[in-house]
A and B are shown apart, each in its own frame.
Chain A
């Protein structure tokens, strides 16, 4: 079963109230059937006649230990239960990101001289971002690509020397950043940065997550917009700007997330099809697979106009010459 299907199903069951732990955010992953399957297979391979159930289980556990031993050990550390004997409790979660900043084949962004490598840049993940993609992409970009492309760019710059900071553009940028920092450390607020981060996370998780629909996305856009206004009025950032200040660093990032989140929801609302990680409940095939719509065969590039709701859509058509757009099928 593909991971995206399993993840959506797990969340749906938990939302319906069937969660198995204290917070209702867990479903069981039981390896008992796997132990049996691997164990029976091993018994045949090792020519053990009439193996007992206990022997089969033991053989199966050995195979699983070889495959997933480190994960099982981590699980036991965290949950204090033995996953070889009791069903594991699992729940989907967001970690890492699918997609990122646009770069060309040399890994340079649209800003000349500004390169983005590793998971920070976009990549063509399908509906499942595979484990270790971050490591893979970081290594591929950092080891195999960038060393050969950045030198080429820098070679043109080799006699440029020190870059002046007394330009109006620099001054404007410096002023904007300083003002923002000063706002954060001086604001007489009532809620921590984490408070807003968690609220935003919940909206995104429920309404712009593994499964989306029109009503949920419309709500998400409104709710995030309201949350952002609240943030800029009531966020409290303790400490000063001249010390190691984690809260201040987080505040700057959450401010950006509050804009990006609303744009994500708006983008998801506009895209009336399912594609990759974007699964619209209204646009699925009978088998529950993503339904692509020809009129949405483009990349959406949103032009910044201040507020996310005012962002202007530019379409970059996706034209496939050597491949066909297909529906995923395990049949």
Chain B
């Protein structure tokens, strides 16, 4: 899957902040949303840019740390899951993904 991610970037409370577009390619539908974010961040670090900060801990759906607002919904379109258990196959038919960390 090739995706365009629109992510809210804001460096601190005094910064106005803005939505920034990022493109990621060859995302497997079996990846979790956080794994996709890891792919994006690796890209950003290698390009000398600042990666996207997000909270995460267990990465296995049990601790509740990884919260993100995805397409206007907390934890995205799935129900009863944390973001680390949200898989990219849920986004196969959509092109735009809005994301903002809590």
Contacts and interface: CB of A to CB of B under 8 A. Distances in A.
A236 B45 contact: yes
A238 B89 contact: no
Interface in B47-71: 48-51, 53, 61
A276 B44 CA distance: 42
Contacts of B9: none
Contacts of B81: 77
A246 B53 contact: yes
B45 A192 contact: yes
Nearest to B49: A238
Nearest to A193: B45
Contacts of B48: 236, 238
A247 B44 CA distance: 12
Contacts of A244: 53
A120 to B, nearest CB: 15
Interface in B6-47: 11-12, 30, 32, 38, 41-42, 44-46
Interface residues of B, number: 20
Contacts of A194: 38, 41-42, 45
A78 interface: yes
A192 B12 CA distance: 24
B42 A77 contact: no
Interface residues on A, range: 10 to 19
A295 interface: no
A74 B61 contact: yes
A16 interface: no
Contacts of A166: none
A297 B42 CA distance: 45
Given A79-B30, A243-B11, A238 B50 contact: yes
Interface in B63-99: 81, 85, 87, 89
Contacts of B44: 238
B97 to A, nearest CB: 19
B28 to A, nearest CB: 8
Contacts of A77: 61, 81, 85, 87
Nearest to B56: A246
B73 to A, nearest CB: 17
A192 B42 contact: yes
Interface in A76-130: 77-80
Contact of B50 (A74, A79, A80, A239): A239
A246 B51 contact: yes
B13 to A, nearest CB: 12
Given A74-B61, A194-B38, A247 B89 contact: no
A329 B20 CA distance: 60
Contacts of B49: 238
Contacts of B87: 77-78, 80
A77 B30 CA distance: 10
Nearest to A77: B85
A77 B89 CA distance: 11
Interface in A244-294: 244-247
Given A77-B85, A194-B38, A247 B11 contact: no
Nearest to A198: B42
Contacts of A80: 30, 87, 89
Contacts of B41: 194
Contacts of A74: 61, 85
30 contacts: A77-B61, A77-B85, A78-B30, A78-B32, A78-B85, A78-B87, A80-B30, A80-B87, A192-B45, A192-B46, A194-B38, A194-B42, A194-B45, A195-B42, A236-B45, A236-B48, A238-B44, A238-B45, A238-B48, A238-B49, A238-B50, A238-B51, A239-B50, A239-B51, A243-B11, A243-B12, A244-B53, A245-B53, A246-B51, A246-B53
Interface of B: 11-12, 30, 32, 38, 41-42, 44-46, 48-51, 53, 61, 81, 85, 87, 89
Which 6 A-B residue pairs are closest in the complex by CB-CB distance? Answer: A192-B45, A238-B50, A239-B50, A246-B53, A77-B85, A238-B45
